[in-house]
Amino acid sequence: MAIIITKEGKQARKIEKSVVDKEDYVQQYIYNNPEAIPLYDIREDIKLLILAREFPTESGPIDALGVDKEGEVYIIETKLFKNPDKRTVVAQSLDYGASLWKNADYNTFIQTLESHVQKAFKISLNEKLKSFFNLADDEVLTLLSRIKSHLDDGSFRFVVLMDQLESRLKDLILYVNQNSQLDIYAVELEYYHFEQHEIVIPKIYGAEVKKEVKSSSSASRPRKQWDKDSLFRELDASLDPNAAKQMREIYSKLERSSDRILWGTGATVASYGPILESVSATKSLLSVFSNGKLMLKLNWFTANSKEEEAREKFRVLLEQHAPGLAPFTEYKTSELRYDPAQWLPHAEGIAKAFEELRETSSS
């Protein structure tokens, strides 16, 4: 398709559709211009806020993650038509949603968003929500509560963005929306360039399907508040005896070295993080999961000079006491994730590093 541009009804120029070569360009464009996703075709007053690019999940990074004023969570995946795996984009998006629902508890989810927002906008998540949606303080808390509810239920809105959609993908999305509780939308973005201007024509598919709202009693997996006893039971049930023993030992050492333990609320996987009040009352430098995995969250500690100083101290101590985990090349920008076989041989060193961090931070 081509478009015609004129000046005062004269000097008509035919502008051909531009070819987009890189998916990263589409990701960045949507991040900067979320209004290019025509959600107004779903409901006129929807205003989308993109909070993160490359949001981490165990299934891989979500291209873009956003919310609206009602607390709906949007998982946005971009693909170019030329991409050979474009036919799997719906399955890929749903896989991200399943991973968020199953593995990420609310505290971890919000803290990860906080890190992305502070890096991108230089303000807190609450401040960004407040200013973007023009909310009062109590309304921000209500919005966060709605986000938590959608996360708990795994109730997400999925948006597939492409420069060109094939008819089979449109049919699939219409079929899924008609016959399930899922909300999946495909957006086709046509790009044109004229002098210094970019022209984008968005078209959305899937919004035309009006589904019946199913009973609010539909089954959803409840969240769970974990504690030490339930963690140990889950370790014994899910890990081999030797690994479970090591996990109990590392928990005991981290518990003694911390001011308190922050527990996750994952539906099936327990998680905890040791808190150092002198560094942060709400964030932990690491999280340990009952499936044996470890996450180092050094990139979360950027709110002030105290957090950054603690982050750097902990990194140096880890390199000293648990050198097998290094190098920490991306510790400032990404969570560092380790399978049990990667980190359990260095568990004592990690505990030692955390203990020394507490001693130096509280002195």
Q: Are strands 156-162 and 73-79 parallel, antiparallel or unpaired?
A: parallel
Residues 167, 107 share a domain? yes
pLDDT at site 140: 86
Residues 298, 238 share a domain? yes
The answer to whether position 166 is within a domain reads: yes
Residues 311, 268 share a domain? yes
The answer to whether position 213 is within a domain reads: no
Residues 170, 65 share a domain? yes
For the chain, how many structural domains are there in total? Answer: 2
pLDDT at site 84: 60
Cβ atoms of 161 and 76 closer than 8 Å: yes
pLDDT at site 217: 38
Count Cβ atoms within 10 A of the Cβ of residue 32 and give its class: 0-12 exposed, 13-18 middle, 19 or more buried: exposed
Residues 291, 186 share a domain? no
Q: For residue 42, give the CATH number of its domain.
A: 3.40.1350.10
Residue 188: helix, strand or coil by DSSP? strand
CA-CA distances (angstroms) from residue 199 to 134, 162, 196, 204, 310?
29, 16, 10, 17, 46
pLDDT at site 347: 96
Residues 280, 349 share a domain? yes
Cβ atoms of 275 and 281 closer than 8 Å: yes
pLDDT at site 1: 63
Q: Please give the single-letter amino acid code of residue 352.
A: K
Predicted TM-score (pTM) of this structure: 0.59
Which of 190, 205, 220 is the last residue before a domain boundary?
A: 205
pLDDT at site 209: 64
Residues 247, 158 share a domain? no
Residues 69, 200 share a domain? yes
For residue 5, the tally of other CB atoms under 10 A from its CB is: 14
Residue ranges for the chain with pLDDT beneath 50: 210-221
Cβ atoms of 171 and 177 closer than 8 Å: no
CB neighbour list of residue 242: distance below 8 Å, 6 or more residues apart: none
- List, in sequence order, every residue forming a beta bridge with 49; answer none if it has no partner: 67
Range of the domain at 113: 2-205
The answer to whether position 211 is within a domain reads: no
Residues 232, 200 share a domain? no
Q: Are strands 197-205 and 260-263 parallel, antiparallel or unpaired?
A: unpaired
pLDDT at site 172: 85
Cβ atoms of 62 and 54 closer than 8 Å: yes
